[in-house]
Structure 1
Amino acid sequence: MKWFVLVGATLLAALSMAGCREASAPPQPVSFHAQGLPERLSDWHVLTADGERLRLNAGVEPYALNTALFSDYAHKLRTIWLPPGTKARYEAMDAFDFPVGTIISKTFYYPRFAGSQDAVLRVREQSGESRDGLDLKQMRLIETRLLVRRQNGWVALPYVWNAEQTEAALARAGDSVPLEMLASDGSQAQQFSYQVPDENQCAGCHATNNSTRAIQPIGPRARHLNREDPWHPGENQLTRMAAIGRLAGLPANDIPRNARFDDATAPLEDRARAYLDVNCGHCHSPRGPADTSGLWLDAATADPIRLGRCKPPIAAGQGTGDHLFDIVPGKPEESILVYRMDSLDPGAMMPEVGRATVHEEGVALIRDWIKAWVGQCSVGAGGADAS
């Protein structure tokens, strides 16, 4: 009998030790898949989640933007992983040139309302809130999008998180996630369906050159990244990227920088242009998918007419709301730009994809910007005229 007890105790101890070793085993290294479409986000080993916390794997670096694309008030954890020994190359205006094997991730999430499984909060994202990953008791994961740099170019892959917050599955056809969004005090409940884009919609936004139609990153550009690093206070994000061997060719001076759209101390012009640049400029540019519209809202455009001043629409159809010009100086209520930003009509709203709600703060900013314009539009025999 004693022998059985001894053997049983020894076996239990061995199993316990094995279990401890398994529980404390380090995560597998990041896996770059040079081909194929992995069905699970965990196949990449960029992020890990156990229902309690979302964690970044070793070598996966978070980054932040000065002004970010609006996505139904979702918060975003952005990361970059580069193959060991490689560097991205600096570009002044375009997306950085990343090496083959790069994996860029963007995880969309919301703070939970009082621990609710369904209700989420519409609150401002806190700087550095994802320093140690995300506490999933406080945050609800919605989706993680990957941009993967393969030999033949970039591939966009959307993954949707399960209810247990332990895994995300590839959603090539996109998805719709019903949400109830509340103000921080629990008021102003808003029901909407968060839309996860399908592969074609991902490519539609990220194909920033209408001639090549090649997918490119949008956020990792000098003017968006040139800011203090939220996870390393006092350090510039680009300078740190270069210092840790992740960025080559960073100049000492004259690095472009966009304003934060919500920084009340920055000039109104800078804030509005930064907002339009990141939300609209990847399409509305001389090379973008909306190049034929004649409305260019990227950071490099300075011509007031190209920015919309007294410019009649070319092919907006019902998207005009019966307004005559993209921007009427001093009159946002008569400007097509504001009308389309403030609309949820599928035939009029801009951007066309990526939102199911109106960004009230963004619309207010563009209203104020247009109010500050001086002049008036008139229509004569020769067409529109600005004076």
Structure 2
Amino acid sequence: MKKFVLKSLGLLSIVFFISCGGDDDTPVDTTDTQNPSQPTNLRATNKTQTSLQLSWDASTDNVGVKKYAVFQDGNIINDNITATTLTIESLTPETSYSFSVVAFDEADNQSESSDIFDTCTLAITLEFKTNLSEMGVFTQNLSELTPADGVQLYEINSTLFTDYAKKQRLVRLPNCEVLKYKGDDLLPVFPDNTLIAKTFYYNLNEQNPNSEKIIIETRILLKINGVWEVGNYIWNEAQTEATYSENGNVTPISYTNSDGQTLNIDYKVPSKQDCFTCHNNNNSTFPIGMKLRSMNFTPSYTNQNQLAYLESIGMMEGATSENISVLPDWTDASNDILDRGRAYIDINCAHCHQPGGAVTNFNLDFRLETPFEETGIYANRGEIEARIQSTAPVYMMPQLGRTIVHDEAVDMLIDYLEAIEN
């Protein structure tokens, strides 16, 4: 706002101006009318669950800046800041906010607003609770297995065998966070406080899709301070709750399969150590199923590529179906038998049989990305054929996750092992 004064220099001045023939009754602007330039590089540091520190840069022409005002979500929260930083407290955990800053000079001229900066407070650090109902995975009626708000279903193209159990796979990311592509088709970068859940169940009668479920366990991975932790919840007989347990057990299951056969299975719930054995590389825990190449297909819950879908809902960043390979579906007979065999061995065996895995004494590397000549599959093809048909403890392969023979996979793998001899 301009300020005007009328120059009045007394009688002598008036006489002087008259004698010079001048007329100086015009108002004169005596203040600076140049608005300061806008603050730049607004950023947030030292974020916690309930606070953050805003900082910004003042341009070189802001020498005369007297103060700054900070806006939060469009509303002014402080208009008398003399530094270029402000700590903001009493925020809500895992919540997004928008901030902007304006500058004022000594004459109260106001700059244009800085660019709006969107940021998010940190998520509440996750931990394993006593009951599954406390973990925020499902809605109130647990047995319906309906994902809670913010929990996303996902599927993988080629699955691991667990005594014919069905599996529901879920992932929950902290608000404002995404899965980030890191340049390969393996695991994405997961933010801290990611939750991954996998629930194992049987339909009492596979010929009736609406039949009662027999829910056995929900395995959960939590990423806490950069480290993955494993936990398991075992469901009660009433199917109303699941309780955290680090001890495995055996649960007898009887159900009717899609061919009308009644199968009786002594389902083995793994211990925490069993989980660590499979989800371990060089003594670090990691997810197995959520590799990008395993999710690069169109799943049953959506009509578009899964990677594209996850990006469209704000959960994925950078990964596209074009820059990621595809793990073949080993159950699809239209795929080449060589691809089917490698896919099954990758998802069922490679987490243990790779450098840094739980089994290193056989010098095997079953990962799909390993050139065939370096896997050790050909040299051990006879051993592989025998072990996949065995149920003898220690000898059978895989040793964990099954108690019976996976007949369909055995038929396919024998064809594969014969094909690699040609």
TM-score (norm 2): 0.67
CA distance in 1, matches of 2:226, 2:302: 35
What is aligned with 2:204?
A: 112
User: Is residue 51–residue 164 contact of structure 1 (8 Å, CA) maintained in 2?
Assistant: no
Aligned residues between the structures: 300
Aligned residue for 1:304, secondary structure, equals: helix
Structural mapping, 1:172-321, within 5 Å: 172-187=246-261, 189-207=262-280, 209-210=281-282, 213-233=283-303, 235-251=304-320, 253-304=322-373, 306-309=375-378, 311=379
Which protein, 1 or 2, shows the higher relative CO under an 8 Å CA cutoff with sep ≥ 6?
A: 1
CA distance in 2, matches of 1:243, 1:184: 35
Aligned residue for 1:292, secondary structure, equals: coil
Structure 1 residues 351 and 90, CA gap change in structure 2 (3 angstroms): same
| Mapped pair 1:346 → 2:393 | yes
The one-letter code of the counterpart of 1:350 is M
CA distance in 2, matches of 1:362, 1:185: 17
| Mapped pair 1:86 → 2:177 | yes
| Mapped pair 1:103 → 2:195 | yes
Deviation at 1:90, TM superposition (A): 1.7
Deviation at 1:82, TM superposition (A): 0.4
Larger CA deviation: 189-198 vs 352-361: 189-198
Structure 1 residues 305 and 253, CA gap change in structure 2 (3 angstroms): closer
The one-letter code of the counterpart of 2:139 is T
What is aligned with 1:17?
A: none
Deviation at 1:285, TM superposition (A): 1.6
The one-letter code of the counterpart of 1:370 is L
User: Is residue 308–residue 320 contact of structure 2 (8 Å, CA) maintained in 1?
Assistant: no
User: Is residue 352–residue 358 contact of structure 2 (8 Å, CA) maintained in 1?
Assistant: yes
| Mapped pair 1:42 → 2:133 | yes
Structure 1 unaligned residues grouped into runs of 5+: 1-28, 114-120, 130-134, 312-325, 328-334, 376-387
Aligned residue for 1:291, secondary structure, equals: coil
Deviation at 1:107, TM superposition (A): 0.5
CA distance in 2, matches of 1:243, 1:217: 23
What is aligned with 1:3?
A: none
The one-letter code of the counterpart of 2:397 is M
Structure 1 residues 349 and 84, CA gap change in structure 2 (3 angstroms): same
What is aligned with 1:19?
A: none
CA distance in 1, matches of 2:420, 2:179: 40
What is aligned with 1:365?
A: 412
Structure having the higher strand fraction is 2
Aligned residue for 2:239, secondary structure, equals: coil
- Where does structure 1 differ by over 4 angstroms across 4 or more consecutive aligned residues? none
TM-score (norm 1): 0.73
CA distance in 1, matches of 2:275, 2:143: 29
User: Is residue 157–residue 297 contact of structure 2 (8 Å, CA) maintained in 1?
Assistant: yes
User: Is residue 257–residue 263 contact of structure 2 (8 Å, CA) maintained in 1?
Assistant: no
Structure 1 residues 49 and 77, CA gap change in structure 2 (3 angstroms): farther
Structure 1 residues 52 and 216, CA gap change in structure 2 (3 angstroms): closer
The one-letter code of the counterpart of 2:253 is L
Aligned residue for 1:156, secondary structure, equals: strand
User: Is residue 112–residue 140 contact of structure 1 (8 Å, CA) maintained in 2?
Assistant: yes
User: Is residue 365–residue 374 contact of structure 2 (8 Å, CA) maintained in 1?
Assistant: no
Structure 1 residues 49 and 344, CA gap change in structure 2 (3 angstroms): farther
Structure having the higher helix fraction is 1
- List per-residue Cα deviations over 1:102-124 (Å, max 9, x = no partner): 110001111113xxxxxxx5x7x
The CA RMSD over aligned residues, in Å, is 2.2
Structural mapping, 1:7-156, within 5 Å: 34=125, 36-48=127-139, 50=141, 53-91=144-182, 92-113=184-205, 121=206, 138-156=212-230
Structure 1 residues 152 and 259, CA gap change in structure 2 (3 angstroms): closer
Identical columns (%)? 32
Deviation at 1:251, TM superposition (A): 4.6
- List per-residue Cα deviations over 1:43-74 (Å, max 9, x = no partner): 11211363762211011110111101100000
Higher gyration radius (CA): 2
